[in-house]
Amino acid sequence: MSTATILFGTETGNAEMVADELLTALEPFGITGEVQSMGDYPVEDLCGQQMVILITSTYGEGDLPDTAIPFFDALKQQKPDLSSTRFAAFGLGDSSYDTYNNGIATLIEAVTDLGATQIGETGHHDAESGLDPCDTATTWAQETFAAVEV
């Protein structure tokens, strides 16, 4: 059994719902998880993690949601060494905005700058699509984790 730390950044709860759903979706891959808000997560703890799943929405003009901003700021200030950390990434956005899913792109850049390695492709949910974010995320997780050794 592997362990994943599932971190969400949200304003209205969709990313948290997706994070909770992924706990179940990852079980068949032998992955157990722990879901936490980015707002409560000490970035120095990322260094010891086997696998991190980052999930965030986008707000404002392509900004991170409120709960993800302290996490992002701490990454920039504390610069933890993430060279042993692998992560997967899923973003929630709305393609009617020019800055579609900018939030997850911002976080991916921040952690890869610190040495983390991304597994799989970034997953995206588009609110314009009318699809359920949990269904989109489950499909993404199945494709992503079937293709990698965790």
Is 20 or 142 the residue whose CB approaches ligand FMN more closely? 20
Q: Which stretch binds ligand FMN (CB under 6 A): 20-28, 80-88, 95-103, 140-148?
A: 95-103
Partners of 86 in the β-ladder? 51, 117
How long, in residues, is the chain? 150
The percent of the chain in helix, strand and coil, each rounded to the nearest 5, is: 45, 25, 30
Going by C-alpha positions, the residue among 44, 23, 11 that lies closest to residue 138 is: 23
Is 29 or 132 the residue whose CB approaches ligand FMN more closely? 132
Q: Is 101 in the site for ligand FMN (CB under 6 A)?
A: yes
Q: Is 132 in the site for ligand FMN (CB under 6 A)?
A: no
Going by C-alpha positions, the residue among 86, 75, 85, 2 that lies closest to residue 42 is: 75
Pairwise CA distance, residues 28 & 10, whole Å? 26
Q: Is 80 in the site for ligand FMN (CB under 6 A)?
A: no
Residue from 2, 11, 115, 132 touching ligand FMN (CB under 6 A): that is 11
What residues make contact with ligand FMN under the rule CB under 6 A?
A: 10-15, 57-62, 65, 92-94, 97, 99-102, 127
